[in-house]
Structure 1
Amino acid sequence: MIKRILVPTDFSECAENAIRYAARLAKDINATDLILLNAYKLPVTYGEMTISAIAEDLIEEQEHEVELEFTNQINKLPELKEVPHYYVHKNALIEDAVATMADELSIDLIVMGTKGAHGINEIVLGTNTHVITKNSKHPVLVIPQNASYRAIQDIALATDYKALNSSTVDVLKFFNRIFRSNIHLVHISDKEIITEEEIAEAKSVNQHFKNITHHFHFIINKDMEEGINSYIREKKIDMLALIPRKHGFFYSLFNKSHSKKLIYHTEIPLLAIPD
């Protein structure tokens, strides 16, 4: 179940689009809370005033500015009026604030914005979107700047056929229940023959998707990004899902600079599911 959604914001247009998407999603899935989070890190300065006095003044000034920014952003997004929501701000690095708030508030889904198809290193909140996506213990839904909300009818899970825990596919099952989504299990390989080990692992994966609509697809392509994006366009996929496991193919992929194209060049929402 997805009941509590956390949306980090830096008050940019990209972040606004992510909030807009999250609000419409929250309405469709009947979420109980949509929490907007702004994190800022105050600079350390020295002078005649004590450090504590400087920090207190800076925090007060920053909090006032953030309050105004939240008010402006919320007023520009009528979608928020249709769902329960509130905002919080933290004096912390964004990745630390997201991790802390996600645990403290029992968040089910984190929604973040990215500048999308032409922004491999032009990510809202800097490179933190990549860091959060890779390391989060909670599912993270990355929304390209130009993506518009629509019912999630087809989801492509890029899989290396490694055995999955049932908890890692719970979020996909949830979307299937809400939207009757079709699950496409897509394996990209530069080899024309699937191994016996991969066949066995695919059978294991199949057990997790009993009683819901799903399909296996084996695609030969030396360029993983090209293979997946071609499939997305051909099948009109609404969401791409990945599992950035701590070991194995996708973890090494996430850590290669060229592979970030797979994440930030996608023109559709991308769901990173922790293993």
Structure 2
Amino acid sequence: MKNILIPTDFSQNAKKATDYALSLFNEQDITITLLNVFYIPYASADVVYSYSDIANENVTQLFKHELERINKKFPDLKAKIKTSFHAGDVINVVCSIEKKEKIDLIVMGTQGASGLAEVFMGSRTTAMIKNVKTPVLAVPEQAQYKPAKRILFAAGEKLIGQKVNIAVLKEIANRNQSKIEALYVSDCDENKESIIQSIDGELNLNFGEIPCDLIVKDGLNVEKEIQKYAEQHPIDLMAMITSRGSIFHESVTKLVAMHTKLPLLVMHTNTKTD
């Protein structure tokens, strides 16, 4: 992994995401781009130019303060930090940048526990995950960085026979000498054993020598079973695979709403694995 993109509005949530990313990926060969996107309201050309100049000056100062904060907090900083700001819609800008600059991971802060269940469905993080092809690491405001020794991976049928970009998850696991606990929640008995065998085969194929245990639980509510497991075990990071469809919203939203302290790595199906 070489390039990480962190959209920022300079809020505490965004700073939490930046700090988490730097703690996890503070290496000389990694470039982290802090991206600010500002909205210019519709107006005459003269007003737009004036607004853009003001925004430019303000964002430059905010980036200066943020870089000072980062250097103070990370005196042994090894990763290269770049800053970038654009006018427009944040989703469109990120989708353009992820392709042009070959972004490997997008890191975003999520809102605090209060009101999360109500507003997260329409939040920028959810919209980002839905629209980008790059894996997204959602970092809750209450998350505290610690090495990801135990990773809870929500395994399911989406893993079977799909092209999934799990390179980021494998890199995190290798960096931290992690153990991956792949949890499959079965909601029926039909073809259960066949599905379990297929998932186990995919896990062995994808993770190779990385320690990975398949845990099977019966239950009708996948999110609640994942929540229960995470609460009963010292999990440091959650990971899941999703497809960009309608079901995706509910799964991601429920998982993040339930876990206001655990970062969540979301990877997509139908993307290249190289």
With the length of structure 2 as denominator, give the TM-score of the two structures. Answer: 0.86
Equivalent pairs counted in the alignment come to 261
Residue 272 of structure 2: aligned partner:
none
Opposite residue 54 of structure 1, the aligned amino acid is V
- Out of 107, 111, 123, the position equivalent to 1:111 is 107
* C-alpha distance in 1 between matches for 2:117 and 2:63: 27
Per mean C-alpha deviation after superposition, the further-off stretch among 216-225 and 70-79 is: 70-79
- 1:262 equivalent to 2:260? Answer no
1:252: how far off? 4.0
Residue 96 of structure 1: aligned partner:
92
Per-residue deviation, residues 66-105 of structure 1 (Å, max 9, x unmatched): 1122222333333455132021111011111111122222
* C-alpha distance in 1 between matches for 2:147 and 2:56: 36
* C-alpha distance in 2 between matches for 1:159 and 1:234: 18
Residue 10 of structure 1: aligned partner:
9
Per-residue deviation, residues 120-150 of structure 1 (Å, max 9, x unmatched): 3455xx7111011123211110000010111
Opposite residue 130 of structure 1, the aligned amino acid is T
Instruction: Give aligned-pair identity as a percent.
Output: 26
- Out of 192, 195, 204, the position equivalent to 2:192 is 195
- Out of 243, 249, 271, the position equivalent to 2:265 is 271
Q: Is the 8 A contact 2:186 2:192 kept in 1?
A: no
* C-alpha distance in 2 between matches for 1:98 and 1:80: 26
1:156: how far off? 1.4
* C-alpha distance in 1 between matches for 2:17 and 2:59: 18
Aligned residue for 2:181, secondary structure, equals strand
Aligned residue for 2:165, secondary structure, equals helix
Q: How does 1:1-275 map to 2 (within 5 A)?
A: 2-27=1-26, 29-45=27-43, 51-77=44-70, 78-79=72-73, 82=77, 83-118=79-114, 119-122=116-119, 127-162=123-158, 163-165=160-162, 167-191=164-188, 195-206=192-203, 207-246=205-244, 251-256=245-250, 260-266=253-259, 267-275=261-269
1:161: how far off? 2.9
Per-residue deviation, residues 158-190 of structure 1 (Å, max 9, x unmatched): 121331546522222212221111111111233
Q: Is the 8 A contact 1:116 1:265 kept in 2?
A: no
Q: Is the 8 A contact 1:23 1:79 kept in 2?
A: no
* C-alpha distance in 1 between matches for 2:65 and 2:119: 24
* C-alpha distance in 2 between matches for 1:133 and 1:91: 21
* C-alpha distance in 1 between matches for 2:151 and 2:20: 17
1:23: how far off? 1.4
Q: Which runs of 5+ in 2 are unaligned?
A: 270-274
Aligned residue for 1:208, secondary structure, equals helix
Aligned residue for 1:97, secondary structure, equals helix
Opposite residue 248 of structure 2, the aligned amino acid is F
Aligned residue for 1:211, secondary structure, equals coil
Per mean C-alpha deviation after superposition, the further-off stretch among 140-149 and 201-210 is: 201-210
Q: Which runs of 5+ in 1 are unaligned?
A: 46-50
1:194: how far off? 5.7
* C-alpha distance in 2 between matches for 1:17 and 1:164: 36
